[in-house]
């Protein structure tokens, strides 16, 4: 299963999702979500589980957002909060919905602010549209694996953030790692393992990009990242 971070939507300082975004992530139709909402309307509270936009508020929201074609002619729009997404997961009640909700909680609703990772950083210049490694290692439980890698980063004093980087999947600078917004969870796992490999092996070697040993450093990080992922696959399988 591949999960991709949705485009960020915020209203009144609250991170939200459209019905279309939840439907895509939970792999159900918008009609299913609307039916569940109407059937369980008494469980949903305005301002807690959803925000209703109409009139001038809806017009302003449409003007401030990109890729809102599904709301182009809408007169009323419902935007779902983290708690609203939870109620939808409960009503859908599939493995996909619960996995997607857990993913959203960790990497969308509660993601750290994305302002502080600089664009000029020490990392490989791999274009997003032509990645160096097209086939990623096998990952049996990427959500759980990503949690483990984030804990490793935390223990090492490394801050990990999601950032809208142009042209690269991941960036490393000092004690910060940035993972490009919108990548699949498998790609996020690989990039984090790759950058952490640099942290543990090469981080004190200066400029990793312009060094004459840059290719060797990157090759070593690639092998180390693949080994880490294989070890985590085994560890996760044994712990089940």
CA distance 1 to 18: 22
Chain segment 133-143, per-residue pLDDT in tens: 557 888 988 88
CA distance 130 to 62: 32
Average pLDDT of the segment spanning 15-23: 94
User: What is the distance, to the nearest Å, from the Cα of residue 54 to the centroid of all Cα atoms in its chain?
Assistant: 29
pLDDT in the model for residue 117: 37
The phi and psi torsions of 71 (rounded to 5 degrees) equal -110, 10
Nearest 5°: the CA angle 236, 107, 63 is 155
Tell me: pLDDT of 29 over 90. Answer: yes
Tell me: pLDDT of 81 over 90. Answer: yes
Average pLDDT of the segment spanning 27-55: 93
CA distance 138 to 100: 19
pLDDT in the model for residue 175: 83
pLDDT in the model for residue 167: 61
Q: 93 is written with which tokens? A: 């009640």
pLDDT in the model for residue 127: 35
Across the chain, mean pLDDT equals: 81
pLDDT in the model for residue 12: 82
3-state secondary structure the chain: CCCECCCCEEECCEEEEEHHHHHHHHCCCHHHHHHHHHHCHHHCCECCCEEEEEHHHHHHHHHHCCCCHHHCCCCEEEEECHHHHHHHHHHHCCHHHHHHHHHHHHHHHCCCCCCCCCCCCCCCCCCCCCCCCCCCCCCCCHHHHHHHHHHHHHHCCCEEEEECCCCCCEEEECCEEEEECCCEHHHHHHHHHHHHHHHHHCCCCCCCCCCCCHHHHHHHHHHHHHHHHHHHHHHHHHHC
CA distance 240 to 237: 6
- The fold adopted by the segment(s) 142-239 is Arc Repressor Mutant, subunit A (1.10.10)
Q: Give the residue carrying structure tokens 């459209």.
A: 18
CA distance 169 to 195: 10
Chain segment 102-130, per-residue pLDDT in tens: 889 888 887 654 443 333 333 343 333 33
In the chain, domain spans: 9-109, 142-239
pTM: 0.51
pLDDT in the model for residue 166: 59
Strand 76-80 to 170-173 pairing: unpaired
């Amino acid at each position: 299963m591949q999960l991709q971070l949705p485009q960020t939507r915020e209203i009144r300082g609250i991170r939200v999702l459209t019905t279309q975004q939840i439907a895509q992530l939970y792999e159900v139709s918008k009609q299913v979500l609307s039916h569940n909402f109407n059937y369980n309307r008494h469980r949903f509270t305005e301002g807690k589980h959803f925000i209703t936009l109409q009139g001038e508020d809806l017009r302003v929201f449409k003007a401030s957002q990109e890729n809102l074609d599904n709301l182009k002619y809408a007169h009323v729009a419902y935007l779902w909060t983290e708690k609203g997404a939870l109620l939808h997961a409960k009503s859908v009640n599939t493995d996909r919905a619960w996995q997607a909700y857990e993913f959203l909680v960790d990497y969308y609703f509660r993601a750290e602010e994305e302002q502080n990772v600089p664009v000029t950083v020490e990392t490989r210049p791999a274009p997003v549209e032509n990645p160096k490694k097209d086939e990623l290692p096998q990952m049996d439980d990427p959500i759980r694996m990503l949690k483990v890698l984030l804990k490793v980063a935390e223990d090492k004093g490394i801050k990990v953030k999601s950032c809208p980087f142009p042209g690269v999947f991941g960036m490393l600078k000092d004690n910060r790692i940035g993972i490009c917004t919108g990548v699949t969870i498998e790609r996020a796992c690989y990039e984090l393992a790759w950058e952490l490999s640099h942290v543990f092996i090469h981080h004190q070697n200066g400029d990793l990009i312009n060094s004459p040993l840059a290719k060797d450093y990157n090759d070593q990080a690639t092998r180390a990242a693949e080994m880490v992922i294989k070890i985590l696959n085994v560890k996760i399988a044994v712990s089940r």
